[in-house]
Amino acid sequence: MTEQTLELTQRLLEFDTINPPGDEAACMAFFAGWLRKHGFEVTLSPFGEKRVNLIARIAGATEGDPLAFTGHLDTVPLGNQRWEHDPFGSTIVGDRLYGRGSSDMKAAVAAFAVACVTHQDAIRKGTGVVLLITGGEETGCDGAKALIAEGKLPAIAALIVGEPTANYPVIGHKGALWLRCETRGKTAHGAMPELGINAIYLAAEALGKIQHFEPGAPHPLMKKPTINVGRIEGGLNINSVPDRTQFDVDIRTSPDLQHATIRQNLTTALGEKVSVSTLVDLPAVLSEEQNAWITAVYRRCQPLHDQPIVAKIVPYFTDASLLLPAVGNPPCVILGPGEPGMAHQTDEYCLLSRLAEAEKLYGQLITDWLMGAAGSQHLL
């Protein structure tokens, strides 16, 4: 790993980009300056107070769409547990680089940015590269939505998503359907509950139905869709009958399942006492394993793993859910140095050895693309 990649990763980790509330502005401004200094053309796109996306380009002289990398700079909150290492101090202990966002996914952003700079001369002779750096990913791909709404996304031929995979090439992920369910009752004095209608009791009946709800059939690769109630809120005070309760449902799906159908089926199952609205609707992602470029990525990754590379997916969602349909569904791999099990964890870390592998691996993929060994248009 070059000193440049480590230094850039540490600088990105120093910024507090926790979402919510969401504040990527300072971090994105620093990164934009770094990219411009190293030869990128950069466009910053605000999408709210202190919320920013970034598109960076190195244009090529050869006809054809560029290779693209994407990553997000927002992170999840620190959690309630005490951190042993400063979450914004980028502490190194042995092979571990600590910090919120180290695995998910600032290390990957640094690695592919440096890889592009290292191969900049060749990139300019080829079809170019594009970096799509977003904010707001952790709360439902808000930044990606804003980029798409602006209509400024460039054409791309293939996409690498730097989410944490321990440098294992992943060809897809589940979709995410987040629903808000609400029950309405009638308030009354807590000592006279018979005069009211308890919205919490109505919600409890609905929750029982959700436990037995099946979103759809298993997928050969993504297996069974999942459903989880992650949040509930109801009542204002202990001595009143609550007249409103809401709870949020997280459903993870496969490409063959229609979210509109799942929502309708759940609404029907819960009955007229429960209203259902959509919070997040992100489709599943699945690239063709037989695609020539995907196969070439597998070959490059194989030396880093003891077992043969096979088709895998991850359960979490990425910005690819929205970016891919917006640019014509090019082939995509999810590939990053972060440890999947470290995402969102207390004392999150990325292994320096994985970071070094990723910088080299991204460089190899860029070189393959430019030389046409894997990336020429007729192979896609």
State residue 46's pLDDT score.
97
The arithmetic mean of pLDDT across residues 102-117, rounded, is 98
Query: For 232-249, what is each residue's pLDDT tens digit?
Result: 999 999 999 999 999 999
For residues 215 and 93, state if they share a domain. Answer: no
Provide, rounded to the nearest whole percent, the portion of the chain with pLDDT above 90. Answer: 96
Domain count within the chain: 2
Residue 193 in contact with residue 336, Cβ under 8 Å?
Answer: no
Tell which of 263, 282, 301 closes a domain: 282
Task: State the residue range of the domain holding 95.
Answer: 3-173+284-379
Residues 6+ apart with CB under 8 A from 346: 78, 79, 81, 82, 83
Residue 160 in contact with residue 300, Cβ under 8 Å?
Answer: no
b/e per residue, 138-177, with b = 16+ CB within 10 A?
bbbbbbbbbbbeeeebeebbbbbbbbbbbbbbbbbbbbbb
Provide, rounded to the nearest whole percent, the portion of the chain with pLDDT above 70. Answer: 98
Query: For 267-276, what is each residue's pLDDT tens digit?
Result: 999 999 999 9
Other CB atoms within a 10 A radius of the CB of residue 220 amount to 8
162: domain CATH number is 3.40.630.10
Tell which of 223, 251, 282 closes a domain: 282
Distance, CA of 114 to CA of 97 (rounded, Å) = 18
State residue 372's pLDDT score.
74
The helix (run of H) or strand (run of E) holding residue 206 is helix 199-211
Residue 320 in contact with residue 70, Cβ under 8 Å?
Answer: yes
For residues 300 and 375, state if they share a domain. Answer: yes
Q: Is the pLDDT of residue 77 over 90?
A: yes
Distance, CA of 347 to CA of 340 (rounded, Å) = 14
Q: Is the pLDDT of residue 380 over 90?
A: no
The arithmetic mean of pLDDT across residues 92-119, rounded, is 98
The arithmetic mean of pLDDT across residues 89-96, rounded, is 96
| Residue 152 pLDDT level (bands cut at 50, 70, 90) | confident
Distance, CA of 163 to CA of 317 (rounded, Å) = 10
Tell which of 282, 308, 323 closes a domain: 282
Q: Which of 167, 153, 12 is nearest to 70 (CA)?
A: 153
Mean pLDDT across the chain, nearest whole number? 96
| Residue 379 pLDDT level (bands cut at 50, 70, 90) | very low
For residues 33 and 56, state if they share a domain. Answer: yes
State residue 313's pLDDT score.
96
For residues 351 and 245, state if they share a domain. Answer: no
For residues 102 and 241, state if they share a domain. Answer: no
For residues 10 and 121, state if they share a domain. Answer: yes
For residues 245 and 290, state if they share a domain. Answer: no
Query: For 282-300, what is each residue's pLDDT tens digit?
Result: 999 999 999 999 999 999 9
Omega of the bond prior to 20 within 30 degrees of 0, cis?
yes
For residues 48 and 134, state if they share a domain. Answer: yes
For residues 10 and 100, state if they share a domain. Answer: yes
Distance, CA of 14 to CA of 181 (rounded, Å) = 38
